[in-house]
Amino acid sequence: MLSRNCLCNLRRAQRLTAVKLSESPFCGLSTEAHRVIHDRQQRCFVVRLGGGAGPEDSAVLKYSYRTDRHVQLLSTVVPESFRGKGVAAQLAKAALDFVAEEQLKATISCWYIKKYVKENPHHGYQAYIED
């Protein structure tokens, strides 16, 4: 059974916006290289997962610009061995935070990002989403 202090810390850790997976003591990933990188040139968000730099070692969320102020969130791909560990959620959060911070509008093509927005109404992302 978790103490009240531990539960508060767990809830606080779940709300943190830090992009490093390894900073959370509750995360199953343990290398310090796990952070979301926004590659504006390639229009994607990337988490490097393995020791290599190949696509099989990375999780990627891709987007494109429809206009200067409107992006389309296209797809989220996470290697099978890292699924279910919060990597896709971290990518979705980073992309949606980018949309909000830049005051953009977004269309979502990716089923996972749609699910993330629906499951996290407290973040207020819905205000930036266009169907």
Q: In the chain, where are the structural domains located?
A: 19-128
119, two tokens = 């499951």
CA quadruple 91, 93, 94, 95: dihedral, nearest 10: 90
Q: Which residues contact 99 (CB under 8 A, 6 or more apart)?
A: 71, 73, 105, 106, 125, 128
Look at residue 57 in the predicted model and tell me its pLDDT: 83
Bridging pattern class, strands 70-77 and 105-108:
parallel
Q: What is the pLDDT at residue 54? A: 60
- As a whole number of angstroms, the distance between CA 28 and CA 115 comes to 22
CATH of the domain spanning 19-128, picked from 3.40.50.300, 3.40.309.10, 3.40.630.30, 3.20.20.10 = 3.40.630.30
**Low-confidence residues of the chain: pLDDT under 70:** 1-34, 51-56
pLDDT for res 37: 96
Q: For 85-110, what is each residue's pLDDT tens digit? A: 999 999 999 999 999 999 999 999 99
DSSP count for the chain of H helices, then E strands: 3, 5
